[in-house]
Every structure is written in C-alpha cells, then in structure tokens.
Structure 1
Amino acid sequence: MNQIDEEIFNIKKIRIRVLEQVPAVTPFQDATMGPFPYFGISIITLEDEYGNIGEAPVYNSYLNILETCLFPILFHSQHTPYKQFFPFLYWSIRNEGFKGAAAALLGQVDMALYDLAARRKEVPLHQYLGAVENEVKMYGSGGGTNYSLAELEKEVTFFLEAGVDCYKMKVGKDFGKSISDDVARVKFVKGLIGSKVRLAVDANQIWSCADVFNFIDAIGEDNLCWIEEPVHSASYDLIETVCKATKVAVAYGESERTSKIFPTLVNCGVRHLQPVPTQIGGIKEWMEVRDLSINRKLDFSSGGYSLYSTFLMATASGTGMIEYLYSIMQGLEKYFLVRPSWRNGKFIFSDIAGIPVRIDWDKCYKEDKIIRELNWEQADVPRYKPVVSM
C-alpha cells in the first residue's frame, strides 16, 4: 500500500500563481513547434486546515476543468482518506477524456497532494515514497533545429563540462523537410562529443517511416542511443513499423497522459519509455510506467519541468534519467529558493521536506514577478455535480 493512501487532506484554500516568463538561453525551436524565446511556469498551492501547503506546476489555461471537476472534490472530501477520494478525482474528468489536459491537471493536483503529505511529515518526498538515494542521473537536452553550428557547439560544451554522458538534440528541421541539414548537424555534434558521450535525437513526430529510415541510414544505427518520437505518436502501426526495422531504441511517452497507453507502446516495440510526471494522470500512474519499464528491462527517462521530476526518478533505483532542457529550463531557476544542485551529470537533492524545489515567493512579490494570482476557498466552490454525458 502506498503511504499516502491513509492521509487525510482537509483542503481549505487553493491558489494559482502565474509567474512572469523568462527568456530562453537561446530561442528554441523543434520540428513542429517554436521558436520559444520565452518560457514560463504556474504553480498551484493547496493549503489544509492547519496551514500546511503542497505545491506543483499547473496548467493555468484550463480553469473550467479545475473549478468544475477537481476543486469541488478537493474542498468537500473532508475527513476522507486519499484512497477513498482520489478515485472521485480520477473519474470526475471522464467526460473530459484521459488523453488530454484534464488528465495532466489531475496529475498536477496529485503531485501537490503528495508534496503536502511529505511536508507535514517533515520528510523529503523521495524518502516518503521509499527512495534511498538522494541523487538522480540527468542527460543534456537541446540542440534546437534553429541553432547555428556555433550555438550547438556552445551548448554541447556546456553539457560536457557539466559531466553528462548523454546528449539529445532536435531533428526534423523545417517541419521535416531538411533531412540533409539534420544529418549534417547530427554529424557535427557527434564529432564534438566523440565516443564517450551517447547521442540521442528527437524528431517530435514529424517524419514518415521513409524519412526515418533515410535519416538512420545516413547517420548509422551505432551512432544513436535512441530516436524519440520519429513518427506521429498516435500512429501505432507506423511506430511498430519503425521499431521492427531498426535496432536503434525508439522512445515514446511524452505525449501520453495515462499509463494505460504504455503497454500498447511496448507491444509496438518501443524500448524507451518517457512518462512526464507533470503531464500524466497522477504519481501512481507514473509509477506504473516505471514498473513496466523495470520489469521489461526497457530504457526509462522523464522530462517536463525537470527539477520537479527528480524526486520521482529517485524511486527508480538508478535505472532512469532526468532530461534537462537547459535552454528553456535554466531561466526559471532564478525563481527557486531551493532546487536540486547539479554535479558530475547528476541532480543532488536538498534534505528539505516535500518536493526538493521551493519558489522564492517573497522575492517574486518584491520584484513583481507574479503576473496573475487566483484564490479559492471552500465556501467559494460548490460540491461536485457530475455532468451527464449525452
């Protein structure tokens, strides 16, 4: 039984704060989105009757789902253990679907509940979940399709000096129409990192099977440790075709919002699973994918808001890695009072209770970095009334 199952959460207040976006180190573009010159974060804060709080990143653009599905249950499950009220949270989003933003919101609220539980027990969240190690391996990520060779070299050098042994770069330039440029960029990076650092590529779903095979033939299978989302994430037939035709590990999972999809991916031949803790429908769902990966001896990693993912990866007993997309994530660190440190290619946790990340709220208010703040109290939110599906 998970330790949280018997926890009681008498939630009295909920707050969402949207922080001012920060500039990317280098404006970043991938195969299908961008460029991203700025990046932001919003935080949900749950507060119980004694003033204990739990926090997590949250989507701030879907208030209707939060207010009509999740908040009524959070506020009106007084004196009810987690194992009894979480199923109501879970099924409240049924009509919104388990493959989109509603499931991600469920997982974000769940992360805040776990943070609250660990904070009030005054233990780090990874220890609350049974992890022993206080560090996790990370890999460098970036290499935007818009980067010049000089910008690629600067970023790769940064990661090499940080001690990483794996670097992932973007391919699929010009919406997949410039494979020759992709090949040249990848060969350039391979020349920089040599044989001691593994190289992965991420096509962000843009290619056809023929494009994938042409790219791999030009690079050489032995020069890639994995290829991420080479074809559309919903085209399981194409995923299976790619997996059967190459010995390069194929990675999927970032686009999924439920653990229920991952066995299908494995059956298609996917050998690297990538659930994102802040985008999947709860901590236990992430753990289901972790266990699937361990039991099937598959590669395993997680990204998203990297520093908020580290505590979970500590429960994987050294079998997984955390992605660190430096160009986008680094700027957000100015908001953190506490965060995992970075040494020799690993994130090292502080011994702070809960998630090993704290926003410096005093500084944010002082410097006027909160661009929007929303508050709810129990009296403001009626009890949950399910909408009948027609």
Structure 2
Amino acid sequence: MSRRAPDVREVRAAAYQLPTPTPEADGTLAWDSTTIVVAEVSADDVVGLGWTYADAACVPLITGVLAPVITGRCVLSVPENWQAMQQRIRNLGRPGLVSCALSAVDIALWDAAARWLDVPAADLLGRCREEAALYGSGGFTSYDDDQLIDQLRSWTDRDIGRVKIKIGESWGGRTDEDLRRVGLTRETVGPNIQVLVDANGGYTVGQARRMADALAELGVIWFEEPVSSDDLAGLDTVRASTVIDVAAGEYGYDLVYFARMAPVVDCLQIDVTRCGGFTEWRRAAAVAAANGLEVSAHCAPNLSAQAAAATPNFRHIEWFADHERIESELFAGCLDPFGGSVTVPRTGAGLGLVFRRDAAEPYAV
C-alpha cells in the first residue's frame, strides 16, 4: 500500500552576506561581498533546500508572499505549486528579486520532493546524463597579474580545461588592458586550454566587433555579453561579425526573455537561481532546443549540476569562484570539479547537500 505524499508544512528563509577574499570587479560592477538567500521547505520529516544569490529583500518575499500560497499543498506537486506562486506574484512584477525568491522556493520544493521519494533531484527532473562539463570562472578586472595567474593555475592544476576571465574594464574604457590580460591568460594556461571572456555588457557594438577580431586571434572561443544583454539587435550584429560564440541570458527572469534572446546568441545562458528555479529552467532549455541551441548554466554550480544532468541540450556549467567558495563553506556534499566535469550521483536523495547552519550563522543578515 503506497504512502500518501505529505503536504508542505512550513517555508523558511534567511539571508547571509559573505565577504569576498579581496575586492572584486568586472567591466561594469564592483563588489566586496555576496549575499545568498537560503529557503527551506518542510514536509513531514523532510526538509528541502534552495537558494538564490540576491538581496536580502527576497526573505520577506519568500516568507510573507510565497509561503502562504504553497503551505498545505502536496509537496510532490512541484509544477502545480510553482504555478500557484507565479499567479500570486502577478502584480509584484516577475523580473528581478521576485523571480529570485520564486527560484529559491521552487528549488527547495524539488529537493523536498526528491528527498521524500528517496531519489536524486536529477532523476526526478528526468536525468539524461551523469557528467556535466564545466569551466573555471573568475578572472576579475580588479585582480593584479599575480592574482590572475594564481587563479588560472588553480583551475589548470585541477585539470579544468576551460577558463573564463572578465574584460570590458571601466565600461569598455581600457580595451588595450583587456587584450593584455587575455594575452596573459593565454600565456599562463597554454595553447590547449579553452579561453572564454565575459564583458558584462561593457562595450558598444563597434567596440565589441573590433574586440572580437582581436580576441579570435588569441584563440578565444566564447564572448559573453559583448554588449548589454538588453540590446538584442547589438548582440545579433556582433554575433554575425565573428566566429567566436556569442552568449547571453543570465539575466533571464521569465520564459519570454529566453524566447527573445535565443535567436541572437550561439549559446543560451540560464541561471537557475534567477529564472524561476528548476521548473522554469526546463521550459527555457526547451526554448533553446527549439532554436537549435545548447544552454550553459550561469553560476550556482551545485544547483546547476542537477539541472545539467536533466538537460539534453546542455554545454557546460560556469564554476564561478565566488559561488564555489560560498557553497563549499555553507553546504556539505558539494561536487568536485576536478578534471573539468562533475559527476551527478545516482545515489542519495534530493540535491545531496546538507545546510551547515552553524557555519552560515556568523554571516546572517
């Protein structure tokens, strides 16, 4: 006789702000800390985990707006619960923090459902692979040469065959320095490592086209957000002018965004902690597939790996240095990127992670 699946009993959330080891910057933003908002969904004797990298303002959105909508609903009915939350936030505006809050709760619901069923989250999502490729990501524009070299070597020492650095420094105001740093990267990692770059929307269309020519000569294979991701025509123009893959999509907060973005990129990026969680990830990946595209996971590596294992048209995970550090400190059971890919286990339940509450508490906001 089968057990009846439990209802959601409680939804909790808390924010934690962790300082960066040194000040960090990309082409268009600087920061010295990162905030993670952790959501927990309780049902019977299981607790599901989810999180988003966003402002602490997500906490009251989760506990005050989303929690009442799903409390008392069946924990296994994740898409139905997602739809109920989506309807509740209609007048709040989907893009931005609201979608980040939705993402954290959706991920926690999938984790709780998988834990109750005693299966890995990737299996519940619909596994199609065990391993997911990745690339080491960081290379901040605030780094001096020694810091950049040390980080690059930390990746190659772990046999990671793809690395990405930031360019577009000072809103595209230092293109010579950008190219020098890319050259230093190539010199450091050698000819057999794939080099990717991210301008974070720092260039104009003309700058990006000229930079693409120079980057191609240095063997760069990936040009992320060469112009603002809001400039779809500009992305399309840059893409048409270069052999380098143009990528964008990390600021996608709803399905329509990805439908607009897909025709103007070579690889569609999705952030599972922003887009609406695993539920919306699956639909966004389908949009990419319908356009003949692969998807790449933006950051949150230990969540992205589960989505990667359930996505046929998947390319790689951005193994972002800040998020690797935070997740390794706050969660037990994190995956090992050695060798340039991660194996998503077929054993265990849910995400396979345990929240280290005592480790997180000193950073509580």
Fold conserved (TM > 0.5)?
A: yes
- Which residue type is aligned with residue 144 of structure 1? F
Partner Cα distance (1:356, 1:11) in 2? 20
Within the candidate set 176, 188, 193, 1:192 is matched to: 188
Give the alignment of 1:97-176 within 5 angstroms: 97-131=93-127, 133-176=129-172
Q: Check conservation: 1:46, 1:53, Cα contact below 8 A.
A: yes
Partner Cα distance (2:295, 2:79) in 1? 28
Give the structure 2 partner of residue 382 of structure 1: none
- Structure 1 residues 71-127: Cα deviation after superposition (integer angstroms, max 9, x where no partner): 221125469944544322112112222322212221221111000000011111112
- Which residue type is aligned with residue 146 of structure 1? S
Q: Check conservation: 1:22, 1:331, Cα contact below 8 A.
A: no
Within the candidate set 369, 374, 381, 2:362 is matched to: 369
Give the structure 2 partner of residue 379 of structure 1: none
Give the structure 2 partner of residue 287 of structure 1: 282
- Which residue type is aligned with residue 52 of structure 1? V
Give the structure 2 partner of residue 301 of structure 1: 296
TM-score (norm 2): 0.90
Q: Check conservation: 1:221, 1:246, Cα contact below 8 A.
A: no
Q: Structure 1 pair 332/288, CA: closer, same or farther in 2 (3 Å)?
A: closer
Give the structure 2 partner of residue 310 of structure 1: 305
- Structure 1 residues 275-332: Cα deviation after superposition (integer angstroms, max 9, x where no partner): 0111112323211232333454424211232112111101124832111122553244
Give the structure 2 partner of residue 270 of structure 1: 265
- For the residue of structure 2 that corresponds to 1:257, the secondary structure is coil
Greater RCO (Cα-Cα under 8 Å, separation 6 or more):
1
Give the structure 1 partner of residue 314 of structure 2: 319
Partner Cα distance (1:79, 1:263) in 2? 30
Partner Cα distance (2:48, 2:322) in 1? 28
Give the structure 2 partner of residue 71 of structure 1: 67
Give the structure 2 partner of residue 12 of structure 1: 9
Q: Structure 1 pair 185/76, CA: closer, same or farther in 2 (3 Å)?
A: same
Within the candidate set 25, 31, 43, 1:29 is matched to: 25
Partner Cα distance (1:63, 1:315) in 2? 29
Q: Check conservation: 1:229, 1:250, Cα contact below 8 A.
A: yes
Partner Cα distance (1:79, 1:352) in 2? 19
TM superposition shift of 1:131 = 1.3
- For the residue of structure 2 that corresponds to 1:340, the secondary structure is coil
TM superposition shift of 1:200 = 1.1
List gaps (5 residues or longer) in structure 1: 1-6, 373-390
Partner Cα distance (1:307, 1:73) in 2? 27
Partner Cα distance (1:331, 1:106) in 2? 21
Give the alignment of 1:210-289 within 5 angstroms: 210-220=206-216, 223-267=219-263, 269-289=264-284
Give the structure 1 partner of residue 333 of structure 2: 338
Partner Cα distance (1:29, 1:102) in 2? 25
TM-score (norm 1): 0.84
Q: Structure 1 pair 336/22, CA: closer, same or farther in 2 (3 Å)?
A: farther
TM superposition shift of 1:227 = 0.6
**Higher Cα Rg, which structure:** 1
TM superposition shift of 1:14 = 1.9
Q: Check conservation: 1:14, 1:46, Cα contact below 8 A.
A: yes
Partner Cα distance (2:319, 2:302) in 1? 8
Give the structure 2 partner of residue 181 of structure 1: 177
- Number of residue pairs matched by the alignment: 359
| Bigger shift: residues 114-123 or 258-267 | 258-267
Q: Structure 1 pair 237/307, CA: closer, same or farther in 2 (3 Å)?
A: same
Partner Cα distance (1:79, 1:129) in 2? 15
Q: Check conservation: 2:267, 2:294, Cα contact below 8 A.
A: yes
TM superposition shift of 1:342 = 2.8
List gaps (5 residues or longer) in structure 2: none
- Which residue type is aligned with residue 18 of structure 2? Q
Indicate the RMSD between aligned Cα atoms, in angstroms.
2.4
- For the residue of structure 2 that corresponds to 1:320, the secondary structure is strand
